[in-house]
Structure 1
Amino acid sequence: MVDVREWCSADTARLLRVPGQGDDKYSRGVVALRTGSNAYPGAAVLGVEAAWRAGAGYVRFVGEERAADAVIARRPETVAAPDIGRTRVGAWVIGSGTDAADRSPDEERALRDILSGSVPVVVDAGALDLAPMASAPLVVTPHAGEFARLRELLGLPPEGTGDRVVDAAEAAHALGRAVLLKGATTLVAASDGARVLSVASAPAWLATAGAGDVLAGVLGALLAAAPDASVAEVAASAAWLHGRAATLASGSSAGAHGHPIVALDVAEALPAAIEDLLS
């Protein structure tokens, strides 16, 4: 039997770390992203933007040249370099805007190194195939199609049971890591598969290209800022905050129909969503 609980604003506020006078850029959370590609540089931009807007104190980007150039053009405060140097990373975000079929041997080695470390990792899109081999704490963030492929990698029927809660819990148990299954209602299954957190804070307007890249950046920022918190609860908080930002960006509060948005609108609305949550 899976314990299902709806995640709410009060839960998110409890998990959100508000900086104090004694904090510096490192203690606020250092996020490193190895995302985007020369083919899909926008994914890198969206994830980096979201990490900054969600409260990261320091953001480091490691990626292909075109993606790095796009990141710096949009967010010049980001440190972009071929490696992280001596930066004390609090959370990694990998895979957004990449394709496993195009992965070079060097890139695969770099991703495997990240996934064999001790730092929490958000594993998205083109890196999901590497998650079953990871030893690092992590959360995977598939959409429905990616989830079916992940289940197959885990030796589970890709079509599932037809019950998203059961399917997410089953995958989390097989992986031994948290699973964030995107959808109109986002589900976060804890690593033991015994508990699922349900997040239904997002408007339908959030179903837009790049929204997942933004979510990955938010999740990276929250994980880096709360190293002692439950990964599943941090993931649910990121999903709730992502949905609230989309609500504000689309003008769909209080039952209003709202209007179309793009993913960057969601990232830009994150500070207002945080202010709204904490007020």
Structure 2
Amino acid sequence: MASEWMPWGERDAAAYVAVPTERDDKYSRGVLGIVTGSAEYPGAGVLGVEGAARTGLGMIRYLGDATDLVLARRPEVVTLPGRVQAWLIGSGTDSSDLGLLGTLFADALASDEPVVADGGALEMVAAAPRAGVIVTPHYRELSRMLAAAGERVSAETIATTPSVWASRAADLLRVTVLLKGSTTFIAEPLGARFAVTGAPPWTATAGAGDVLGGVLGALVATHADDVFESGVLARLAASAQILHATAATLASRGGPIVALDIAEALPDAVRRVLEVRVD
């Protein structure tokens, strides 16, 4: 039976931030494969990479359709295929026109690595769910996912009762669900349930969800050995949301922000959360 919705805060999130030691190298710190961005929405690729890189991990392999823009912003990113510990797929893509990206999504979902799925990859997950997958839809995307699984519910209904539908979707789709909103609800199938608040309303801006995907991808890659244990993926998702909300608060200081501001504030957000851990 599913548990009650539990709050999640900075002290909780601190336990899920991987801090490197002198024995680590770029591989042991986690390698994230990213297949995001498209010709129509290349910025999603840049923002996801920024979110991941600034959260902290050893390497990013970017295989999406915004390579030139990503390298212009983050020249340390590797653009060749190779071993990864986790995947981030789908942000900034349209499920109706995937082309080669669809093959890359399918490969990631067929792999043994955990997957963070968004955007154009969501309906592929609904059609073939598996363990170790977390989806990060907004209300409209969750409505389409549920329709693909035979459950008809409007985006308006989901927005009215998001906790009900995050829980229902996790159980029906058999994947962990992070339903984005002013309160973010995270549910694993028949298991952990977390509710995360604290992001300023200015966070509702284009691309903020792409940054969140990168944050979550980084946390999953740095905890890949533990992801398949019960409740861990949901806790990583709640921790990613805390880091994202903290970064947004630090960037905003009461004023408007854009998505890149959130990404650039992530190192300070990580530092703040780690300071809570040692208090």
Fold-level match, TM-score > 0.5? yes
Partner of 2:74: 75
Q: Whole-Å Cα distance in 2 between the matches of residues 119 and 191 of structure 1?
A: 18
1:102-123: CA deviation from partner (whole Å, max 9, x where unpaired): 111x332221111111101110
1:222-270: CA deviation from partner (whole Å, max 9, x where unpaired): 000012141111011001100000000001xxxxxx1000000000000
Partner of 1:111: 105
Partner of 2:14: 13
1:50-107: CA deviation from partner (whole Å, max 9, x where unpaired): 111000110110022xx100000000000113xx1xx321111111111111111x33
Q: Find out whether 1:249 has 2:240 as its counterpart.
A: no
Partner of 2:45: 44
Which of 88, 112, 118 is matched with 2:83 structurally?
88
Which of 117, 139, 147 is matched with 2:134 structurally?
139
Regions of 4+ moved over 4 Å: none
Partner of 2:238: 236
Alignment map for 1:1-279 (pairs within 5 Å): 2-64=3-65, 67-81=66-80, 84=81, 87-104=82-99, 106-132=100-126, 133-135=128-130, 137-159=132-154, 160=157, 162-192=160-190, 194-227=191-224, 228-229=226-227, 230-251=232-253, 258-279=254-275
Offset at residue 2 of structure 1 (A)? 4.6
Question: 1:278 is aligned with what amino acid?
Answer: L
Partner of 1:254: none
With normalisation by structure 1, the TM-score equals 0.91
Offset at residue 134 of structure 1 (A)? 3.5
Distance 1:208 1:144, change over 3 A: same
Offset at residue 166 of structure 1 (A)? 1.7
Q: Identity across aligned pairs (percent)?
A: 49
Which moved further from structure 2: 4-13 or 107-116? Answer: 107-116
Secondary structure of the corresponding residue to residue 180 of structure 1: strand
Q: Whole-Å Cα distance in 1 between the matches of residues 53 and 30 of structure 2?
A: 10
Q: Indicate conservation of the 8 Å contact 2:247/2:263, yes or no.
A: yes
Q: Whole-Å Cα distance in 2 between the matches of residues 22 and 184 of structure 1?
A: 40
**What's the Cα RMSD here?**
1.4
Segments of structure 1 that go 5 or more residues without pairing to the other structure are: 252-257
Corresponding pairs, count: 265
Q: Indicate conservation of the 8 Å contact 1:115/1:136, yes or no.
A: no
Offset at residue 136 of structure 1 (A)? 5.2
Q: Indicate conservation of the 8 Å contact 1:31/1:220, yes or no.
A: yes
Offset at residue 195 of structure 1 (A)? 3.1
Q: Indicate conservation of the 8 Å contact 1:2/1:169, yes or no.
A: no
Which moved further from structure 2: 179-188 or 19-28? Answer: 19-28
Offset at residue 147 of structure 1 (A)? 1.1
1:174-229: CA deviation from partner (whole Å, max 9, x where unpaired): 1111000000010101122x432001021101000000100000000000001214
With normalisation by structure 2, the TM-score equals 0.91
Q: Whole-Å Cα distance in 2 between the matches of residues 145 and 166 of structure 1?
A: 15
